[in-house]
Chain A
Amino acid sequence: NAGVTQTPKFRVLKTGQSMTLLCAQDMNHEYMYWYRQDPGMGLRLIHYSVGEGTTAKGEVPDGYNVSRLKKQNFLLGLESAAPSQTSVYFCASSYRGNTEAFFGQGTRLTVV
């Protein structure tokens, strides 16, 4: 089992460009999450999904969109990247919302 896989691992964007981060899990988990991690801030929840076809806003959703068309995939989109979105992005999944979460290895995004 691969667990949670994120692509890409690194990306540099210019301000105003768009991109999509892909998260895939093979554990048949219902819940999937996107977090961003910034120095001294811990992990902040961007958006999450409680099942196929559903999405919900987290703590810092502005500037991001998500989609969960298939149970195993959770996509995070940046329509118009800004330098403030420079961060490390982590995807996670869990069986339910109150069970342990499994994390991907992260995507390091730099917006210049």
Chain B
Amino acid sequence: SQQGEEDPQALSIQEGENATMNCSYKTSINNLQWYRQNSGRGLVHLILIRSNEREKHSGRLRVTLDTSKKSSSLLITASRAADTASYFCATVSTRKTSYDKVIFGPGTSLSVIP
């Protein structure tokens, strides 16, 4: 079963607004990653946050991690039409019964209206 679950499944906002997407996961993690996928393209890595970190920034992106609640959020500030894409959270668990691997959630579809 998938490790991460994003919420909401779809989000539509006006250009210039902030967009917030949430991710919940089930087991202890080594790190959590966020990816973007433009329509018909491969995924592009945005940001990685380790289990001992609480917040990370990259340009207009802000990621928070709450390991006690097993959740993360991705905030995109001052959104642009070019931010229209699907966003996925992915986790690497700390389970030692198998090799480390990246497991993805179903994603959030973001539409930014000009």
Contact = CB atoms under 8 A, between A and B. Distances in A.
A102 B101 contact: no
Nearest to B9: A40
A19 interface: no
Interface of A: 4, 31, 33, 35, 40-45, 48, 50, 56, 58-59, 90, 92, 94, 96-106
A45 B102 CA distance: 8
B101 A58 contact: yes
A35 B106 CA distance: 13
Contact of A106 (B1, B35, B41, B98): B41
B41 A105 contact: yes
Given A42-B107, A44-B104, 15 more contacts: A33-B101, A33-B102, A35-B104, A41-B106, A42-B104, A42-B105, A42-B106, A45-B101, A45-B102, A59-B103, A96-B100, A101-B33, A101-B102, A105-B42, A106-B40
Nearest to A100: B45
Given A44-B2, A100-B48, A94 B102 contact: yes
B101 A42 contact: no
Interface residues of B, number: 26
Contacts of B107: 42
Contacts of B33: 100-101
Nearest to A38: B106
B71 interface: no
